[in-house]
Amino acid sequence: MAQKDFYAVLGVNASATADEIKKQYRRLAKQYHPDTNKGEAKAAERFKEISEAHNVLGDPEKRKQYDEMRRLGAFDPYAPRPRSSSRPGGTTSTGGNTGGGPRVEDFDVGGFGGLGDIFSSMFGGARARPSGPEKGQSVETTLEVPFKIAVTGGKVPIELEVNEECGTCSGSGAAKGARIQTCPECDGRGTISFGQGSFAVTRPCPMCLGKGQVPSEKCAACNGAGASRSHKKILITVPQGTESGSKIRLKGQGGRGVRGGPAGDILITFQVKDDAAYDREGLDLVVQAPVNIAQATLGSKISVLTIDDRKVTLTLPRGTPSGKRFRVRGQGITHGGKTGDLLVEIQVVVPESLTPEQERLMKQFAAAGALEY
Ligand SMILES: [Zn+2]
Ligand SMILES: [Zn+2]
Q: What are the structural domain ranges in the chain? A: 6-71, 82-111+134-163+225-274, 278-367
pLDDT band at 168 (very low <50, low <70, confident <90, very high): confident
The span from the CA of 287 to the CA of 114, in Å, is 46
The span from the CA of 159 to the CA of 50, in Å, is 58
The span from the CA of 285 to the CA of 368, in Å, is 40
pLDDT band at 99 (very low <50, low <70, confident <90, very high): very low
pLDDT > 60? residue 91: no
The SS3 of residue 347 is: strand
Q: How many Å separate Cα 359 from the centre of its chain?
A: 65
- Nearest ligand to the C-alpha atom of residue 165: 1
- Do 335 and 352 touch, CB atoms closer than 8 A? no
pLDDT band at 62 (very low <50, low <70, confident <90, very high): confident
- Nearest ligand to the C-alpha atom of residue 178: 1
The pTM (predicted TM-score) of the whole model is: 0.52
pLDDT > 80? residue 103: no
CATH H-level, domain 6-71: superfamily: DnaJ domain (1.10.287.110)
pLDDT > 60? residue 102: no
CATH H-level, domain 278-367: superfamily: Urease metallochaperone UreE, N-terminal domain (2.60.260.20)
Say what the pLDDT of residue 324 is: 96
Say what the pLDDT of residue 2 is: 41
Ion ligand 2, residues whose Cβ is below 5 A away: 183, 185-186, 205, 207-208
Say what the pLDDT of residue 104 is: 35
- 86 alpha carbon – ligand 1 mean position (Å): 23
pLDDT > 90? residue 64: no
- 110 alpha carbon – ligand 2 mean position (Å): 24
- Nearest ligand to the C-alpha atom of residue 122: 1
Q: Confirm whether 82-111+134-163+225-274 and 278-367 share one CATH topology.
A: yes
- 139 alpha carbon – ligand 2 mean position (Å): 28
> Regarding the domain delimited by 82-111+134-163+225-274, which CATH topology (the fold level of the hierarchy) does it fall under?
HSP40/DNAj peptide-binding domain (2.60.260)
Say what the pLDDT of residue 371 is: 55
What's the whole-number average pLDDT of the chain?
79
Residue percentage of the chain with pLDDT more than 90: 35
- Do 123 and 129 touch, CB atoms closer than 8 A? yes
pLDDT band at 197 (very low <50, low <70, confident <90, very high): low
The span from the CA of 307 to the CA of 24, in Å, is 81
- 123 alpha carbon – ligand 1 mean position (Å): 14
pLDDT, one tens digit per residue, over 237-268 is: 999 999 999 999 999 888 888 777 888 899 99
The SS3 of residue 97 is: coil
